[in-house]
Copies of this chain bind each other. A is one copy, B any other.
Amino acid sequence: MTTKIIVDTQAATKTAPTRRGRGRPQSFDRAQALCAAMRLFWDRGYDGTSFDDLTAAMGISASSFYNAFGSKEALYQETIDAYVKRAGAWFTTILQEPTDTRSTFAHLLTTAATEFTRDDLPTGCMIAAAATQCAPTQARLRDLLATQRTQSETALVTRLQQGIQAGDLPPDTDIKALAAFYSALLRGMAVQARDGIPRERLHEIARIAMQAWPTPP
């Protein structure tokens, strides 16, 4: 029932097989720096995280920063990717579990309740409510995040479609609407988490939300 989440830096490092080549070697662990940046962006958002905040947390200088990551915006995109692949991996993992559709969604919500209130990571979700209000100059960023949100909702649609094929759900179920409902709920839970709601309350929300699960006719 529990899902093992790996956010540790060491584990991340293994995926970066220490490139050997000419030139002076990097004096810092790129994956570790990326992880530090992700936590900062997650906690404070894009605008709320200054360049100096980043270099300080990553333990590198401005030149190393630009040499390794290109720009603040490029780094942000990388941290979003890292979040999806690592800290937020529970989402896709659970959707691939070989249980029935209702159990899968119940598991998704209870895991969200737990993940959104971990004490070793920022609360809530890095993407759920990010950049919904931003300057027109940040349109690319807003679109990037909106796209991520759309993709996660699409993943719910896909899983519900499989549920219909498996006979878990009535064939006439409005799966787009049902996906939108659980999607909205998860985003709201993320906001609640950032406001400091207790984990147990989030679990109660999850329990109530499963009451809305469609009943066979």
Residues of A within 8 A of B (CB): 42-45, 47-50, 53, 124, 128-130, 132-136, 138, 146, 149-150, 174, 176-178, 180-181, 183-192, 194-197, 201, 204-205, 207-209, 211-214
Specify which of A43, A132, A149, A185 lies most central, judged by the most chain B CB atoms within 10 Å of its CB: A132
Q: How far is the CA of A7 from the CA of B132 in the complex (A)?
A: 22
Contacts of A124 in B (CB 8 A): 132
User: 10 closest Cβ contacts across the A-B interface?
Assistant: A184-B188, A45-B133, A188-B188, A177-B204, A48-B135, A129-B129, A187-B188, A212-B212, A211-B212, A132-B194
Contacts of A47 in B (CB 8 A): 47-48, 134-135
B188–A44 CB distance below 8 A: no
Given known A181-B209, A184-B191, A189-B184, contact A133–B48 (CB-CB < 8 A):
yes
B44–A135 CB distance below 8 A: yes
A208–B192 CB distance below 8 A: no
Contacts of A48 in B (CB 8 A): 47, 133-135, 138
Q: How far is the CA of A43 from the CA of B50 in the complex (A)?
A: 22
A210: nearest residue on chain B (CB-CB)? Answer: B212
A183–B177 CB distance below 8 A: no
Q: A50-B135, A180-B204 known; 9 other A-B pairs, CB under 8 Å? A: A44-B136, A48-B133, A132-B194, A176-B201, A180-B192, A180-B197, A184-B191, A185-B188, A188-B189
22 A-B interface contacts by CB (under 8 A): A44-B134, A45-B132, A47-B134, A48-B133, A48-B135, A50-B135, A129-B187, A129-B191, A132-B190, A132-B195, A149-B191, A150-B195, A177-B201, A177-B204, A180-B197, A181-B205, A181-B209, A187-B188, A187-B191, A187-B192, A211-B212, A212-B212
B208–A178 CB distance below 8 A: yes
A134: nearest residue on chain B (CB-CB)? Answer: B48
Given known A48-B47, A132-B194, contact A184–B211 (CB-CB < 8 A):
no
Contacts of A186 in B (CB 8 A): 188
Specify which of A42, A209, A212 lies most central, judged by the most chain B CB atoms within 10 Å of its CB: A212
